[in-house]
Structures are given as structure tokens and as C-alpha cells.
Structure 1
Amino acid sequence: MIDVDDLIALVRNYNPKTNEAKLRDAYDYGMAMHEGQFRHSGEPYFSHPVAVAAILTEMRLDDATIITALLHDTIEDTGSTYGQISERFGPDIAELVDGVTKLTNLQLSSSETKQAENFRKLFMAMSKDLRVILVKLADRLHNMRTIKSMRPEKQVQKARETMDIYAPLAGRMGMQWMREELEDLSFKVLNPEGRNSIIRRFITLQRETGDVVYQITNDIRHELETEGVEADVFGRAKKPYSIWRKMQEKSQSFSRLSDIYGFRIITQTEGDCYRVLGAIHRRWRAVPGRFKDYISQPKSNGYRSIHTTVSGRDGKRVEVQIRTRQMHEVAEAGVAAHWSYRDGVRAENPFAVDPSKWIATLTERFESAHDHDEFLEHVKLEMYSDQVFCFSPKGDVVKLPKGATPLDFAYAIHTRIGDSCVGAKVDGIRVPMWTRLKNGQSVEIMTAEGQRPQATWIDIVVTGRAKAAIRKSLREEHRERFIKLGRELARVAFEHVGKKATDKALKTAARQMSCNTVDDLLERLGAAELPARDVVRALYPELDTTGENVDQKRAVLGLRQGQRFERAQCCQPVPGERIVGIGIPGHGVVIHAIDCPTLEDHEDTTDQWLDLQWHSGPHGAVNNVTLNVTISNDAGVLGRICTLIGEQKANISDLHFVDRKQDFYRLLIDVDIRDVEHLHAVMLALEAESDIADISRHRDVTRSAQGAH
């Protein structure tokens, strides 16, 4: 374990003005609180907070962050309290320690609903003070470095969580070195054989070709000397997980994978970066499509660098990154560079982003999410996406995630442009909406008045902004349609009992049913969230005839005295149809239509079959039947369907859409009818309607009967 003097020395290396007494006090306090506690490895527990603090010194972070690291487990694992830490070290550090404690308790790899809520809490903590997540990432890094002492199943759980959440988050914050190490440590747990096979191939490759990194580094240095540019050159083989991912993405074997080496050139000035680029491209052939200029178009986390891939020695592809010293500091520390110190003062790096602005851009559209899935989608899109840069016809640059389409581009410019988009040109050529954009392309969006977002667009776009805007527009469009449909359903239901659905009646019903406005009530009716008969019942309970016109005991003949029965929901038999009863112990008798396919399941138990028939007398409108209806997507069609059903003295009890296409909708309509003749009359009236493409009786053999009479 690092002792207090060595830790202070690490801090003093970059911050001679550090508050040594406060660091020492935090060290002593943490050690005293964790006294008698041990890690799974058998080491004193306090060795872990000290190691986390040491990791953060590598990023030259301020005293408050280092002290938070030393104390980050005290509230959770010891008798220490928020109040005690606030009194001894100040409210700022107490807030940071409390924030890390709350993050530690979040189960980010839990079920989707809980995961979304926990991600909200994660981003809330980040928005208060980003240093909380820096301590948490360092905490996770040290835990992954020492994971071997944990139980195997716990190792897998932690490694998966690290790979899915913490590694991408570190990358999004610009801390690429931490992302790579977290990924590789997780890879070591999740697929040790895959990792070892890559390492073995590397060793074989080095034996066959010699030290390629050393050779190419010397080649680059020679070119820079010729150019007269002073720069540092570093080379390395890429991490095993990075190579494994490329093999999976490209479906290539290791022997066919070429860009497994990376080189970094650190220059004195920005101008030198472009001189180096020219020298590299003159010496080696550039690989098309593998050039990115993040100096002229920085990433949102402050990252600046030139990336290019060239064919080096023996045709081997090598990736080269070119940046200045200041750019390199931000590339290593990412957003954390904002807090880094040098010579006792906060380093004024012009490329370090303001954390509050960065977190604002990251969470900009999270709050527009209406449900857990949508929120999680936004988080993952914003956290895990790489970027491409495209140009508008005026030359403005639009940043988009990898895989973005012209529709994403349109919504990135303005929601109005996205909503009215009818087509796009990329580099002057008309392309489909689902085309994946590439770096440097020029995109022109074509719009038309009256165009509205289509439901299929959700599957085309990849950005959270576009998805949120499309969903909002669809909700508004559906609301208008549902209100119209709801008004028709209400009119028919009220006429069914000899009343009129006046504005006053609907307003009273809305109040009775806890709806804020009449439109809210009608929308719920149209969206099938509320049966129309419930609205009628709320105003005229004395007129509710549901279930009262038929003596249920006499509805079916052939049952024993007092024997219960229920209609099977798979075939929904109605009076006038031939029926058979199946005796179900504990459930009475389930009545099926004689042609119901599910009767095959009872062929071996014919002793349970009962020969039944409906009562020949009149039946009230109490039998529910589901109709499968395909209609054209035109204005007023749904309203006409409601009117036709109402004219046949039938009642719509439920309605929902099962398939929405550009020109046709398929929906299921639950209708209350008297008997089979009444059903035929309803279906005949609908079949005659020109906008109804198809109508049939819906039978669902997966449904079982519910509730006995």
C-alpha cells in the first residue's frame, strides 16, 4: 500500500501548492475508519482508496478529488457520516463523497426499467459535479485490476457491467486510455481464451517480422527530420480487445487484419500537425475513407487530433494520430483536463472543455424522453456513439453519430426541416433516406409543405434528437385522429341509449372520469384506453343495459342446475351458432363453437364434452366478438366504421391497431352483439364500405376463457 508521504509526493509533482495537511488528515481519517476491514485478496481495505487516489494523480487532479478518493467508501462501509465528513473536510468534499456513495449503490446492469431510472440518477450526479464520476471510474479501474480475488460469477458480472457501461462512459469523456484498459481487463475475464489467442499470434508475428513498431517509428522519425519538424513519436500494438472487436466487425481472421499498430506524433504547433500529415502522406499511401480531422472539427469532449491510416512497411496498415502537446493532454484526460493542475495552479489548457457545458450537451434531450425505453435509447446513443462530420450546402458542419442518415442530418439542422423532409442529396446525388452518411459528405435536404413524419422513420434514424422529434409528431398526429375517432365512438354509444353526446354531456363525463379536458376524454376513447359504454354509464347508470337483458341461467340449455359456464375467448361463440361444452374441473363449463380449432386438444377427453345449445329466445347485446378489419388510411374512414356499427344497433367496446402501413391500417374491433344474425348484419354493412379492404372474424387460439358466469 502507498504510504501517505509517497501519495503526497505524487500530488506535489504537479501541484507544489497542494494542501499537504488536508491530504494527510484525509489519509489518516480513512485509514482509521477502515481499520480491521480487508479486501477479498486479504489486503487491508484502505489500500483500495489509496490506489484510487493514486490513479487520479496520474490525471493531475485537484486536492478535493484526491481527498474524495481517499474517503469514497467511508459513508458506505464504515461508521462515518455525511455530517462528520462535512464538519471535518468541508461541505464540498462531503457532497463529492456522498455522490460517489450513491453511484456505488446504483445497479446499472439491472432490469431495463430500473436501469433507466438508475441512469437518470447517474447523469444527475454527473451534472452536479463531474468529479464524482471521475472517482467512480478510477474506483472501477482499480477493482478491475484486482478482480482475480473475487468469486468467478462476481468477476463475470463486474466485467460485463464494465464493458457495457463504464468503459463506453470513459471513452465518451475523452479518457481513451482508461476505456482501453477497462475493456481489456473485462475481455480478460469474459473471454480469456480469445484474448490469449491474440497475444499468442502477436508473439508469433513479432518472431516472423521482427519489432515492426520499432521499425516504423524510425521510418516516421526519418521523414520528420527530412521535413525539419520537431516532434515525439510513439508506437504500439493495439490492445487485444480492440483487435478482437475489429475481427468481429469485419469478419476477418487475425492474419488478414492489417491495422493492428498505432502511432502517435506529438508536435509543437498546430501548423506542424499539418506539415507532419503532408510528410506522412508523401512517404506512404493513404487508405481512402480513413482520414479524420478532429483539429478543425473537435469532438464535443474537447478531443483534437488528426487521424489517418496509411499502408506502411510490407503493405501493413498503420493508424497515425497527430496532435500538439496541449491537444495530447486533453486526449489523455478528456473532460478531466478541466481540473488538472500544473505548478500549483489549474492548467489553462485552451482545449479543455467546460464540464457543465459538456454535460449539458450530453443530457440535452434526455428529459424529452416519455418512457424508460426512450430514455435508455437516448443515453446509449449519446454515450456510445462515434462521430461523423457532414456539410450543409452553405458549408456549415453538422456532427452526427456513426451510422447517421440524411433524416438525422435534417433533424440536426431543425425539427421543422426534419418533419417536412421528402428526400435528400448526398454530394449532389439523390439517395434513399436510409443511406448511412460518411465523413466529409455534403448533404442537401429537400422539404415539402404538408409532409409529416412517418412511423417507419423511427427505424431509419439513429440520433436521440430525431427519434424524439418523430415520436412527438406522431403522438400529436395520433392525438388528433384519436380525438376524432373518440367523438364518433361517444356519439354512437350515446345514441345507443337514446341520448346525445353534447359538449356539456362530454364535459360532465370528463370531470366524472378524472380527465382534464373533453379532448383528453375523447383521445382515451379513440385510443381504446376507455370503453365508450363506461362514459355512458358514468352519466346514465340507470340506462346501462349491459348484461341485464338476458337471464344468464337460461342462456344455454343442457347444463345441470346451478352449473357455471363461460364463453371461450379463442372462438367467442354467439347465440345461433352450434356449440359444445368442455367441463373443466374447478372452472365449470367452457363453451366453444363447434368448429373451434382448440377442440382438437380435448379429443382424448370426450367424457368431458357436453352437448349444449343456445336458448331459442331473444338475447340482449351482451356477447362480445372481435372483428379483424383492414382499412385504407384516409380521412374519416374510422368515423364511418363507427357510424355503420352504431346504425346496426351494436356497441364498440374496444378498438386497437395491430399494424400500421403507409396506405393501410389493420385493427381489431371488439363489438357487443346479440346473436349470430346480428353479427352477420354488422359484418355485411362493413363489407359494403368501399374503404374497408378486408373484414373477418378474429379468432385467437392462444387466448383462454376468462371468468365464469
Structure 2
Amino acid sequence: MSLTPSERSPAETRSRAKGKRSSVPVSAVKADHQANPQPDNNADRQADPIEIPQHISHVSITQLSEKLSAYLPASDLISVRDAFRFSDEMHLGQMRRSGEPYISHPIAVAEICADWKLDAQAIMAALLHDVMEDQDVKKEELLERFGAPVASLVDGLSKLEKIEFQSQIEAQAENFRKMLLAMARDVRVILVKLADRLHNMRTLSVMTPEKQRRIARETMEVYVPIAHRLGLNNIYRELQDLSFAHLYPLRYRTLAKAVKAARGNRREVVGKILDAVNSTLEAAGINAEVQGREKTLYGIYRKMQDKNLSFSQVLDVYGFRVVVNNFTESYYALGILHGLYKPMPGKFKDYIAMPKLNGYQSLHTTLIGPYGTPVEFQIRTHDMHHIAESGVAAHWLYKDEQVSLSDLQVRTHAWLQSLLDIQKQTGDSAEFLEHVKVDLFPDSVYVFTPKSKIIALSRGATALDFAYTIHTDIGDQTIAAKINHEPAPLRTELRSGDIVEIITSPNSRPTPNWLSYVRTGKARSAIRHYLRTSNLTESTELGRQLLSQSLTLLNLTPKLPEDIVEKLLFESGAKTLEELYADIGIGRRMSTLVARHILDLIEDEPSSIPFLQLLNENPTVTKLNPVLIYGCDGISVELANCCLPIPGDEIIGQLKRDQGLVVHTCDCPTGKRQLQKEPERWIDVAWGQELNRRFDCKITIFTTNERGALARVAAEIGDSDANIINVEMEGSSSDSLSQICFTIQVEGRKHLARLMRNVRHIIGVSKIMRGQI
């Protein structure tokens, strides 16, 4: 279906002229742009301009047409042809680094999508997925020509090249956020994107080794888990092996050579097992397809690493798949195989009764085959096999809503919906991507509600994660949990088969320490959202103080002109100045960077120059007033647990992302290490005058090991007007000295000194010191 210039319409000729503007020089040619997360458009393009003959982009889509004609009606083929013609016009003269016309890439992506039998709209989006970025085609033009669904798909696939970001990490996170949210609205977005990434990975060898490693690492960290989460096992395995090959080329080649050698050595064993299994199943009346399969190189490599094995010790390089006709035959075949070879204890998994998070269903068992070799078998039906290989591509979420959803569709829909929930509660793109990555774990545990409903969670999930999985309001109001009808801490990790019951109270609210023991993205984003919004006033005031300090350092007054404020809000993406202050107060933005940006805006605006206090008019910058700490500042200000500062200590503050201001003592070893790593995040703080609370402090006391010693010390602490929060003792009955660590509450440093003098006078106390050994 290739087109000659004479076949092109006047509208297409106009489009071709538009496309030529940026496609004639190869300096504007893109080799593999989708694999590049940076906002720099030229990162993947060749540098020297070369005139490229027009006939080079003469590419055929005959193979694509043959695949599509097998399942699409003729009317849809006409629409696909129109999309191809438009894409061909837009990419005229554009070349991949491999030397092929660039249009060959969209065609290859469309062919991968056709293998999954995606609909015409998805095929058209695959052909057009680069035109918005490369040729500056507007969404409105695609909307007018190809309709709203195709325009939305292409928009979801296009990166945010026109927006300036503070860092490459921020740009990458925002691109992924946009893509994942588009996927949540229409799963076809990620399917086309995965096809795009797959073709780019297949042709990655033309890139520089450094870029190969970067793109492969990104693929392994984001796209491989997404493919697995959606049940696209074929793509999952291929992307995994391709990433492995580019990340560790020497290891890949060495392992491939070893597997090839082992393939010949083990051919006899594999043949013997195949014959035995086929004949046994046939004798039992089961018509099954039995296939020998070789484990992926990356799967073998991970097993060698995880279990610290050499290749010769990895015995189960080969496995077998048994595909039967129905559900009942799956378990019947399992019994027959267990009669043929001895099963290995603890190596049986029933993913039919309890499917994986991505909908995968099979029976897994490992048997001791001939010559004592462990052999893994997977037993499934034909429908299960189809879903295991194609995942969500086997059943469309966006088709007729009247059709009942399969279990896989329900699970996928729930996960996609959770992405939207996380987005609503997340402050920025980096945080969103962090939460989503947490939920891309391939392993899972299966627990039960008290009403016997099965809930699948990421491995390592806790009882609190379970509460947030049920509902955000349940999580926020959780006060306790019961696991298998016994009280258990909220931080308890769940195991498959646990029965979990959550106890709530309308007065319960999330606390910052909950973040330390939740594992799922939904729970983390919900807790952070609550902490952020419940203390908005405190965060806003803290951010106002910090920005005022940074502006003073640059000889700027904190009262800014209205036009500068408008520009600042527009370029920062904040809706109001209070929102910007709040972001600074919780550590999401650095006050020094915001102040520097304000200075740049003022210098670029001639009308604002009189507003700037020039250095020669004010040569000395007044020493900044430190931020005052009163002790009851709420969640926006936290006293560090590592040193537990109390009034009277010299202190310094650290701005931590999403935690606000964390106060350390000036001699805190942890604080000193972090100060060296990120000095720009530290500010001067001081104690306020009106302190109306007591402060936690730890003291360690060494006393003779005799009856009544602890009671005497505790009584003296109470007489010194201090509260005891916790007591820990070390030492056995044979030791002459006991070490007692108290966590107490005092008013300040003077109060602590008076208490320590009183305790030191107790008979039997040999030493007392602040802190815990």
C-alpha cells in the first residue's frame, strides 16, 4: 500500500510542505525518540544536515494490510490507509539512525498491534504516534481528520516536549505520569506504547552504548513491570531479555553460549520426558498439547543471582507446558503427572483457584524427572493459555460495556482506576511515579476478608495496606487489626491465606510514621495526601518564611509586584501563591530556587527594575532571622528522632521532601552527614520564647545490678517533674552493672540537667548520660 507523489491529495501536499520544514536536515531526524525521556528533542538525532531524496520514504505496508484484512472490515482499512498516508507525508525525508526511512518505525509498531488484533483506532494511533512531536501537528488537526478517539490516543502517546522542567528526572516523571493517566482512561494507549518500545528495543543496537544502557534500564524499571502487570507475558519476556542484553552484554553472551551448549546435552532428557508425558496422558484419555519450553536468559540469570548459583547448578532450565481442553482436565492431568514423576515438596502453586494480579491462571508443579533432574510443569486450558500470553490484549476494556467483564478485565480495570485515585492525591509527577512503581511488583499475596472475599496485594503489604485497599476512608480511620482472629500490629506483613479484619474509629487519623510501614502506592499516596491537606495552614506559613529568607539573601523584598507573581505562578504550575508557599513548606520546592527564579523574572522585566534593590545601594545583607520553633508546630515541623533536640540545644533545620522541616541538634552525626550531601536544604532555626509543651529525650543510666535499683531511679525521675515514656534494660543476672535507657519528657536543657544531677546522687548509679548507646 505504498503511495507515490501523484496519489497524494492537495491537503496532503500541504501537509508534506509543512513536514519538510523540519525533516529535510537529518539534524532534525529522530532515530529512537520514544526511548529518550529527556526534554531535549535532538538527543536521539543525527547532527549533520544531509539532503535526503524523497523516494527514500517509499515504504510498503502490504504486510500490515494482510494482517489487518484478516479481522478488520473494509471501511476500517480505508481509515488506516488514510492514517498511513498522512504519517508518510509528515515523516517525509526523516531517517532512523539505522538508515531506514523513519516511516518504517510507525509501520512496525502498527504490525505489532495488528498481531494483538487491536481495533482500527489503535492501529491508526500507532501509525500517527510521532507526528505531534516530530512535525508539530496539533491535536485539533488530528481531531478534525481522524476523529476524537484517535486524536486522544496520539495525544496520550506524545511526550511533553514543549514544557520546560527543572531536571531530567522531573521531565521523565511527568511524561510517564501523562502516559499512565492516558492509559487509565484508555488501555490502548499503553498497548501502543509497549509496541513502540518493543520495536525500539529490537533496533537499539544502533545507539551509543551509554544510551543503550540508559534506555534498557528505563525499560526494565517501568515498561517490563507494566507489561507483566497487564499480563502481556510475550512482550514482558522479550523486553526483559532485550534489556538484559543491553545492560549486561558480556553476561548475556556468556549465558546464551552456556544455554546453547546445554541444549544439546539435555536434548535426550527433554525428548524422554515429552514421550513419557504424551503417552501417559493419552492413555488416561486426555487430549493435551505438551510443549517443552526453555526459560528466558534473564530468568536464568536472576535465579543464579538470587540463589547464588552457578549455571551448572541451575537444573530447571527447561520446563513443560500442558494445555488441556477444560478446567476439570487441568486437575486430572496434575494427578496423572504426580503419578508419573515424584513431586517436589512445597513446589506446587494453584494459580487457577487464586489467579495472579494480572489475571494469569495455571497450575505450577515441579517434579523429579529422569536422572533426578527437577522439571517444572505448567498446566492450563486453551483460554488460560491465550490470556497468559496476550494478557489484557485478549479482552478489551473499551469494548461494549454491555458485555460481562472477565476476571482479568475486572482486575485490570481496578488497577487502572487506582492510578486515577493516586493522581488525585499526589502532589507532583515524581511522587506519582514513585507510588505507581511500588504497585508494579510482580509477586503478590492473597488474603481474605472476614466474609471470605479474596484480596490480592503486593508482596510485603501490611495490615494497613489491606485497610486502604478496601477503601481510603477505612484506611484513614484504622486503629487496629486482627489477623487470623488475633490482634496484630498494623505494620504486620501479611501472608497468603491470612484472614484480616480492620477495626476503625471515626476519631482516628493517619500519622507520619504510617508511611514507614505501608507498601502499596494507594496507601502511601492517601496518607501523604491527608498529611499534606490537614496541615495546609502550617505548611503555607512555613513556606512564606522560607521564601522571605531566600529573597532577602538576594536583596529582594518579599512583597512582589503583581505581574511578577502572575508569571511565577504560570511558570511554576501553582494555582495560587498560597499553594506555592505550601509546596515550599513541605519541601517539594526549594525556596532558594524559587527566589532565584523570581530574580530572573524581575531582571527580564524592564518595568520591574526599580523594584530590585541593587547591591551597590544595599551592600550589606542583614543577617537573616532564623525560623522559630515553638515545639507545637504540628506535622510541618518535626523534631528528628535520631537526636531528639530539646529547648536549649543549638539546632539547625533540614527541609525534607513531603515532610516539611526536620529539626536536628547541631552536633547530630546523622544531621552532619546529610548536611554534607544536601547543604542547600538546610536553614537556620532557633527556639521560640513561648514553649507550652514537653519534649522527648533519652538518657542512659548505669547502676548496680540489685533489687530495687530501677524503682529508685524511676522514683527520682518522677520527683524531678519528668514523665517516663519508655524503659529498656540490658544486662543479665550475672552482670554487676545494668544499663537502663529511659525515654522521658522534659521542659528543656536546664530541666534535664537538674534531673541528671538528682539521679547521679542515687546510691548504686555509676554513670548517667544523654542519648542511647
CA contact (8 A) 1:337 1:352 kept: no
Structure 1 residue 191, shift from structure 2 partner: 0.1
Counterpart among 311, 328, 353 of residue 409 in structure 2: 353
Question: Who is 1:266 aligned against?
Answer: 323
Q: Quote the Cα distance in structure 2 between the aligned partners of 1:360 and 1:63.
A: 25
The two structures, once aligned, show a CA RMSD in angstroms of 5.0
Q: Quote the Cα distance in structure 2 between the aligned partners of 1:305 and 1:199.
A: 28
Question: Who is 2:769 aligned against?
Answer: none
Q: Quote the Cα distance in structure 1 between the aligned partners of 2:450 and 2:100.
A: 62
Q: In the TM superposition, what whole-angstrom CA distance separates every residue of 1:287-317 from its partner, at most 9, and x where no partner exists?
A: 4554443333334544333333344344433
Q: Quote the Cα distance in structure 2 between the aligned partners of 1:128 and 1:340.
A: 10
Mean Cα deviation higher: 10-19 or 391-400: 10-19
The residue correspondences of 1:517-556 to structure 2 (distance < 5 A) are none
C-alpha spacing 1:164/1:284, structure 2 compared with 1 (3 Å) = same
C-alpha spacing 1:629/1:80, structure 2 compared with 1 (3 Å) = closer
Q: Quote the Cα distance in structure 2 between the aligned partners of 1:98 and 1:564.
A: 52
Matched, 1:692 2:708: no
CA contact (8 A) 1:326 1:351 kept: no
Question: Who is 1:210 aligned against?
Answer: 267
Q: Quote the Cα distance in structure 2 between the aligned partners of 1:515 and 1:23.
A: 48
Q: Quote the Cα distance in structure 2 between the aligned partners of 1:35 and 1:669.
A: 61
CA contact (8 A) 2:397 2:413 kept: no
C-alpha spacing 1:625/1:99, structure 2 compared with 1 (3 Å) = closer
Q: In the TM superposition, what whole-angstrom CA distance separates every residue of 1:172-214 from its partner, at most 9, and x where no partner exists?
A: 1111110111111111111011112222222333344335444
Matched, 1:187 2:203: no
Q: In the TM superposition, what whole-angstrom CA distance separates every residue of 1:486-523 from its partner, at most 9, and x where no partner exists?
A: xxxxxxxxxxxxxxxxxxxxxxxxxxxx999xxx99xx
Structure 1 residue 250, shift from structure 2 partner: 2.6
Question: Who is 2:353 aligned against?
Answer: 296
Q: Quote the Cα distance in structure 1 between the aligned partners of 2:506 and 2:156.
A: 49
Q: In the TM superposition, what whole-angstrom CA distance separates every residue of 1:66-125 from its partner, at most 9, and x where no partner exists?
A: 222222223333475545544443343233233323379899997544444333212222
Mean Cα deviation higher: 445-454 or 328-337: 445-454
CA contact (8 A) 1:107 1:118 kept: no
Counterpart among 6, 9, 24 of residue 81 in structure 2: 24
C-alpha spacing 1:276/1:472, structure 2 compared with 1 (3 Å) = same
Structure 1 residue matching 2:337: 3-state secondary structure: helix
Structure 1 residue matching 2:273: 3-state secondary structure: helix
C-alpha spacing 1:627/1:357, structure 2 compared with 1 (3 Å) = closer
Q: Quote the Cα distance in structure 2 between the aligned partners of 1:113 and 1:66.
A: 30
Question: Who is 2:340 aligned against?
Answer: 283
C-alpha spacing 1:146/1:327, structure 2 compared with 1 (3 Å) = same
- Of all paired residues, the percent bearing the same amino acid is 39
CA contact (8 A) 2:474 2:504 kept: no
C-alpha spacing 1:236/1:659, structure 2 compared with 1 (3 Å) = farther
Counterpart among 227, 230, 235 of residue 292 in structure 2: 235
Q: Quote the Cα distance in structure 2 between the aligned partners of 1:224 and 1:358.
A: 39
The residue correspondences of 1:366-381 to structure 2 (distance < 5 A) are 366-370=423-427, 374-381=431-438
Q: In the TM superposition, what whole-angstrom CA distance separates every residue of 1:235-264 from its partner, at most 9, and x where no partner exists?
A: 211111122122222333323334433332
Give the AA of the match of 2:686.
D
Question: Who is 1:396 aligned against?
Answer: 453
C-alpha spacing 1:289/1:371, structure 2 compared with 1 (3 Å) = farther
Q: Quote the Cα distance in structure 1 between the aligned partners of 2:278 and 2:405.
A: 27
Q: Quote the Cα distance in structure 2 between the aligned partners of 1:462 and 1:212.
A: 43
Structure 1 residue 21, shift from structure 2 partner: 3.0
Structure 1 residue matching 2:440: 3-state secondary structure: helix
Counterpart among 125, 132, 137 of residue 189 in structure 2: 132
Structure 1 residue 421, shift from structure 2 partner: 4.6
Counterpart among 449, 465, 476 of residue 408 in structure 1: 465
Matched, 1:67 2:124: yes
C-alpha spacing 1:34/1:226, structure 2 compared with 1 (3 Å) = same
Question: Who is 1:98 aligned against?
Answer: 155
CA contact (8 A) 1:629 1:669 kept: no
Question: Who is 1:220 aligned against?
Answer: 277
Please list every run of 5 or more consecutive structure 1 residues that lacks an aligned counterpart in the other structure.
484-513, 531-562, 570-621, 638-643, 661-665, 674-686, 698-709
CA contact (8 A) 2:448 2:497 kept: yes
Q: Quote the Cα distance in structure 2 between the aligned partners of 1:95 and 1:468.
A: 27
Structure 1 residue 27, shift from structure 2 partner: 3.3
C-alpha spacing 1:626/1:16, structure 2 compared with 1 (3 Å) = closer
Structure 2 residue matching 1:388: 3-state secondary structure: strand
Mean Cα deviation higher: 98-107 or 51-60: 98-107
Counterpart among 249, 259, 269 of residue 306 in structure 2: 249
Structure 2 residue matching 1:298: 3-state secondary structure: coil
C-alpha spacing 1:626/1:255, structure 2 compared with 1 (3 Å) = farther
CA contact (8 A) 1:303 1:327 kept: yes
Q: In the TM superposition, what whole-angstrom CA distance separates every residue of 1:685-706 from its partner, at most 9, and x where no partner exists?
A: xx97633186289xxxxxxxxx
Question: Who is 1:670 aligned against?
Answer: 686
Q: With structure 1 as the length reference, what TM-score do the two structures score? A: 0.63
CA contact (8 A) 1:388 1:439 kept: yes
C-alpha spacing 1:437/1:70, structure 2 compared with 1 (3 Å) = same
Structure 2 residue matching 1:364: 3-state secondary structure: helix
Structure 2 residue matching 1:365: 3-state secondary structure: helix
Q: Quote the Cα distance in structure 2 between the aligned partners of 1:450 and 1:349.
A: 38
Question: Who is 2:701 aligned against?
Answer: none
CA contact (8 A) 2:463 2:491 kept: yes
Question: Who is 2:366 aligned against?
Answer: 309
Q: Quote the Cα distance in structure 2 between the aligned partners of 1:629 and 1:82.
A: 53
Structure 1 residue 444, shift from structure 2 partner: 5.5
Q: Quote the Cα distance in structure 1 between the aligned partners of 2:495 and 2:459.
A: 8
C-alpha spacing 1:363/1:695, structure 2 compared with 1 (3 Å) = same
CA contact (8 A) 2:341 2:369 kept: yes
Question: Who is 1:336 aligned against?
Answer: 393
Q: Quote the Cα distance in structure 2 between the aligned partners of 1:167 and 1:121.
A: 18
Matched, 1:466 2:539: no
The residue correspondences of 1:417-496 to structure 2 (distance < 5 A) are 420-422=478-480, 424-425=482-483, 434-443=491-500, 455-471=512-528
Question: Who is 1:327 aligned against?
Answer: 384
Structure 1 residue 378, shift from structure 2 partner: 1.6
Structure 1 residue matching 2:497: 3-state secondary structure: coil
Question: Who is 1:534 aligned against?
Answer: none
Q: With structure 2 as the length reference, what TM-score do the two structures score? A: 0.59
Q: Quote the Cα distance in structure 1 between the aligned partners of 2:217 and 2:204.
A: 13
Structure 1 residue matching 2:439: 3-state secondary structure: helix
Give the AA of the match of 1:156.
R
Q: Which has the larger radius of gyration?
A: 1
CA contact (8 A) 1:422 1:448 kept: no
Higher relative contact order (CA 8 A, sep 6+): 1
Mean Cα deviation higher: 207-216 or 108-117: 108-117
Question: Who is 2:599 aligned against?
Answer: none
Q: Quote the Cα distance in structure 2 between the aligned partners of 1:212 and 1:110.
A: 55
Structure 2 residue matching 1:399: 3-state secondary structure: strand
Give the AA of the match of 1:159.
A
Give the AA of the match of 2:303.
K
C-alpha spacing 1:479/1:422, structure 2 compared with 1 (3 Å) = farther
Matched, 1:198 2:252: no
Please list every run of 5 or more consecutive structure 2 residues that lacks an aligned counterpart in the other structure.
1-57, 541-575, 592-618, 640-645, 655-660, 666-670, 672-683, 690-718, 723-744, 752-773
CA contact (8 A) 1:366 1:378 kept: no
CA contact (8 A) 1:628 1:695 kept: no
The residue correspondences of 1:559-708 to structure 2 (distance < 5 A) are 658=663, 670-671=686-687, 690=722, 691-692=745-746, 695=749
Structure 1 residue 380, shift from structure 2 partner: 0.8
